Structure 1
Amino acid sequence: MGFIPNAQLIFRSQSKSGDYHDDMNKNNFNKWLEEKLLPNLPPRSLIVMDNASYHTIAVNKAPTMSSTKDQMQNWIQSKGLTYLPTMVKAQLYEIVKEHKEPIKYEADLMLEKHGHKVVRLPPYHWDHNPIELIWSVLKRRIAVKNVGQEAKNIVKITEEAFSSITAEEWKKECKHVKKIEDKYYHEGISVDREIDNFIIELGGDDSDTADDTDESHVSDLDPLDDHTYSKRINF
């Protein structure tokens, strides 16, 4: 349906690196979420979110193997659990793994509190997010108008570019992403089928040996190219 009304945030980057992402942090993101997005979201919305660091601030983060021994011990005690003083880190971490809860993120809890749901994109799959395609259109339209590179005009040009993007353009990009998702799904089925052709099953019947030539144990060789063959063997 287009951009969420009244949820736009434009700010001047103070970063010396030239990357505006350095200016967007947990505090700024949560402030925008609470003051700009939540008041304008339709009821029971589904929010697609990537895995940027400020999107994934955990409220119940458990220790990892890189945590100190003290951190692991303190976490175990905070959960009302016990450990032996003689336990090494690997043993303490087994307790952590057994009792840690699914990760909960600050942003998700804020949205869920208002009746919304969050779905997260697979890591490194920006192509599943229609807004990335919209950003590309937006940047091109800004570049065309920003000929003189005048800082005083950039906000006006950016706002005009935002308002020029229609609901139809959004629908087009959403359909394009759906095609990509369908392509991944069907390719996944084909990959599963091909992987099955290369499985070597261990622990068969005692009568099965590596020297068996019975057709029930060794399939015909399927040439894939001059050097590669697909074979399924029971040992």
Structure 2
Amino acid sequence: MCVQLYLFLRLYLMSEPQPGASGTAPPAPPPVKKRKLAVKKQLSQREKKFLVNIYNHLEKTSPTYPSKMELYKTTSKIMDVSEYIVRDVMKHYTQNQEVPQPKERPANRAIIDKLDDFILSAIRRKVHKFYYDGELPTIAKIFTAVNEDDSLPNFTFGTMYRILKKLNFTYCKRSRKSILLDRPDLQIWRVNYLLKINEYREQNKKIYYLDETWLNEGHTCNYVWMDNDIKSSRQAFLGGLSSGLKNPQKGKRLIITHIGNEDGFLEGADWVFEAKKSDGDYHGEMDAHNFEKWFKMVLDKILPGSVIVMDNAPYHSRQLERVPNMSWRKDAIQEWLRSKNIAFETREIKAQLLTKFDKKKYVLKYVDELAASKGVTVLRLPPYHCELNPIELIWAQVKSYVGRNNKSFKMAEIKTLLNEGFARIGAKQWSKCVNHVLKEEEELKKLDGILDTTSDDTVVPLIIAVTGDTSDSDDDEDEDLNL
């Protein structure tokens, strides 16, 4: 009934005015300015069903049998959509007796989510450089410093602001001047990490570094010598020359996981597999089950008393059991407390129940406990500090070798070049990378002292909480560490 009333009103408004009782046509109403509707990318399921009903109603109730084009035109006016949309919906409905399902479109990833950890770490060091020089790192200064660096991408002012938030910097006031500081809990994490790894070195423990990266079939060097005198393929053909190298497509992707120390890669510990997707974040291809299976194999190859350094990727950090939080139901929290023999009163609210236990005591990671059962310690890197993991520099060398020698851009050749790259990396290259990280650690120790001095007289800052940790390296080359 509602549909018919709606159609009647729309058709009545579109019809021509009829003559009045005096034989003269009534004055035309003032033109109504049509409201422009927002352009839709696609109709919803309900709107498509409504469109089909309108079309069928017009077809059945018209006094003369109209053409399809007239039906499309009238339906498009009523629905306020294009005739092409009406035609496509009705064509699908005629063939399948159902309206088409809306197409799911992949969500666009933000620019900052596409930045690898090398670029993020480089931007972090730009901020710290201001501390070393005794300057206050305002966002305007950081924006200028990053965009003037040819080795880094150019960003807009707004994107730079979001990058700083992603890097867990806080924005506060100091003596009427703006200043950016590391979030306090991350600074504590970094200090504790540096103290622990220094303690392990003094105890002469073997320290291994673990990480993942990726390689595409089309991986190649970003820079190549080009002949600027060649302006066209015809000119190159007539001169018996080539038009240069074309940039290949990305192609399929390999996910690579390995572990090593100053003695080189741990023999037989590489884990390489072909990814299902060729783009996006490669961390989505990893899962805790397969990583833990590989990690068990690694533990059988290293001596008890060793230390393994890794980041905080989700598949590295699966918890042995869930720990209550505010999203839990009250009865579920109470049941969990009973299972741990923790006393509580039934009248207490959830916030009170959650104070009955120390969360850190029960948040146990499976990987850490598995390593401890073998006499091995897992040491977690602070977020966004990939410069403290020497294997990141090793990845750059391996990728550089593959990129320089990749000719066919086929998966078979990529796998061969990858194995060759691994074979070319020995104790000498690893020792250089570890020594480079030792220098980075010393600089960070000095920086933390500078931050303590700089952060005096600050007011309470706005803390931006960002969780998660990613770590991958691009094919950036370090001249001092090349193969």
Give the superposition deviation at 1:19.
3.9
Q: Which residue, out of 98, 103, 117, partners 2:363? A: 103
Q: Secondary structure at the match of 2:274?
A: coil
Q: Which residue, out of 132, 145, 157, partners 2:405? A: 145
Are positions 1:7 and 2:269 aligned together?
Answer: yes
Distance 2:373 2:347 in 1: 43
Distance 1:193 1:154 in 2: 50
TM-score scaled to structure 1, two decimals? 0.76
Contact 2:276 2:285 in 1 (8 A): yes
Structure 1 residues 150 and 60: CA distance shift in structure 2, 3 A: same
Contact 1:62 1:100 in 2 (8 A): no
Q: Tell which structure's C-alpha radius of gyration is larger.
A: 2
Q: Secondary structure at the match of 2:309?
A: strand
Q: Which amino acid aligns with 1:90?
A: A
Give the superposition deviation at 1:14.
1.8
Matches within 5 A, 1:125-204: 125-196=385-456, 198=457
Aligned match of 1:85: 346
Q: Which residue, out of 285, 294, 312, partners 1:23? A: 285
Aligned match of 1:231: none
Q: Secondary structure at the match of 1:169?
A: helix
Gaps of at least 5 residues in structure 2 are: 1-262, 460-483
Distance 2:392 2:415 in 1: 20
Gaps of at least 5 residues in structure 1 are: 201-235
Aligned match of 2:130: none
Give the superposition deviation at 1:83.
2.7
Aligned match of 1:228: none
Q: How many residues align?
A: 197
Q: Which amino acid aligns with 1:14?
A: K
Give the superposition deviation at 1:166.
1.9
Q: Secondary structure at the match of 1:101?
A: helix
Q: Which amino acid aligns with 1:21?
A: H
Aligned match of 2:316: 55
Contact 1:121 1:128 in 2 (8 A): yes
Contact 1:83 1:92 in 2 (8 A): yes
Q: Secondary structure at the match of 1:34?
A: helix
Give the superposition deviation at 1:16.
5.8
Contact 1:58 1:106 in 2 (8 A): yes
Distance 2:445 2:327 in 1: 35
Contact 1:111 1:118 in 2 (8 A): yes
Q: Secondary structure at the match of 1:10?
A: strand
Contact 1:62 1:96 in 2 (8 A): no
Q: Which moved more, 1:14-23 or 1:112-121?
A: 14-23
Q: Which residue, out of 375, 383, 393, partners 1:123? A: 383
Distance 1:120 1:128 in 2: 11
Give the superposition deviation at 1:141.
1.2
Give the superposition deviation at 1:112.
1.6
Give the superposition deviation at 1:114.
1.4
Give the superposition deviation at 1:65.
2.6
Q: Which amino acid aligns with 2:299?
A: L
Distance 1:39 1:94 in 2: 40
Q: Which residue, out of 13, 16, 34, partners 2:296? A: 34
Give the superposition deviation at 1:28.
0.8
Q: Matched residues, percent identical?
A: 35
Distance 1:113 1:33 in 2: 13
Q: Which amino acid aligns with 1:28?
A: N
Q: Which amino acid aligns with 2:341?
A: G
Contact 2:323 2:362 in 1 (8 A): no
Q: Which amino acid aligns with 2:417?
A: I
TM-score scaled to structure 2, two decimals? 0.39
